[in-house]
Amino acid sequence: MPDTEMILIKETYLNSDPGSGNMIILKEEPNAKRYFMMFVGDAEFAAIAKEKGLVDPQRPLTHDLYLRILEKLSVNFIRVEVHDVKENTFFANVVFTAEGKEHVVDSRPSDAVALALSRKIPILVNEKLFHRELSQEEMQEFEGLVKSVKF
Amino acid sequence: MPDTEMILIKETYLNSDPGSGNMIILKEEPNAKRYFMMFVGDAEFAAIAKEKGLVDPQRPLTHDLYLRILEKLSVNFIRVEVHDVKENTFFANVVFTAEGKEHVVDSRPSDAVALALSRKIPILVNEKLFHRELSQEEMQEFEGLVKSVKF
């Protein structure tokens, strides 16, 4: 039995900044104080931004290619889970069924989130990976961050 | 009927250089003078380098995630085709069968090449996209390029 709870994510925020890089912030609800944050590469950031309708790349991204292939196949995506962290690297699973069997595949969280947004399946994050409630000062900084997001 | 021939690729070369970027060069055989060249992003370059055994990323790349998902499904990848260029952008197709039907999905050539190397399926390039035979001077430069590749 896991001794931590998996939290259902309702909000995905993006922020890109030349100094700090590409950031994805996940929250259980807009007003929630705790949050999950990860840094991602350019291609993964683009994939998530595209799924949120923030950019419209002219050519299919890697995700798009495979999602178009998967559309032709019998597969049901169930959920993605960001479940652990080791040496500052987050770990996620993609859960799906095919031919009556459930499969769990290891994934980077950025790919899992892009896939989940595309297929409209739940994103769950282990509560132990959330940042604690922010102080007043941190909150101001975080609010600035959220306001700087382009949507 | 197409009025150009599709050339079967036997050799894939990679070169990365801070000035010119990430380059993929495809040739029908090592001694062939004509060649196909494209510039690709970091993530796509990493995927191709990984499929050639040049790098071993600790975490699954986007390609790896989807290829692991596809391993659980009934799909046969047949070939990839780099078939056209428009406004300096190359276009490719991925051809596969699923449930007895053949499908053709639009792809960036870099994704198509990474998929083909992974699944060991033919890479075909329209001969009109090849660079012509090189001059002696160009050949020297090109030889330097090929020698600088890490394998």
C-alpha distance from A30 to closest chain B C-alpha (Å): 29
pLDDT of residue A56: 92
Average pLDDT over residues A17-43: 89
**Domain B6-148, classified CATH 3.20.20.140, yes or no:** no
- The beta-strand segments (E) located in A2-151 are 6-8, 11-17, 21-27, 36-40, 76-86, 89-98, 101-107, 123-126
Kindly determine whether residue A108 and residue B59, on different chains, have CB atoms separated by under 8 Å. Answer: yes
Give residue-wise pLDDT tens across range A137-148: 665 665 555 554
B124 forms bridges with which residues in the sheet? B8, B81
For chain B, domain boundaries: 6-148
Residue contact A73–B73, C-beta within 8 A: yes
Give the Cα separation of B99 and A51 in Å (integer): 28
pLDDT at residue number B138: 63
Q: What is the mean pLDDT of chain A?
A: 88
Assembly ipTM: 0.85
Q: Taking CB atoms and an 8 Å cut-off, how many pairs form between chains A and B?
A: 105
The alpha-carbon gap from A7 to the nearest alpha carbon of chain B, in Å, equals 23
pLDDT digits (tens, 9 = 90+) for A91-134: 999 999 998 999 999 999 999 999 999 999 999 999 999 987 65
Q: Is the pLDDT of residue A149 over 60?
A: no
Residue B139 pLDDT > 90: no
Contact state of A62 with B72 under an 8 Å Cβ cutoff: no
B135 vs A85, more confident: A85
Please report, rounded to a whole number, the percentage of residues in chain B having pLDDT higher than 70: 85
Higher pLDDT, A130 or A33: A130
pTM: 0.85
- φ and ψ at B34, to 5 degrees? -75, 155
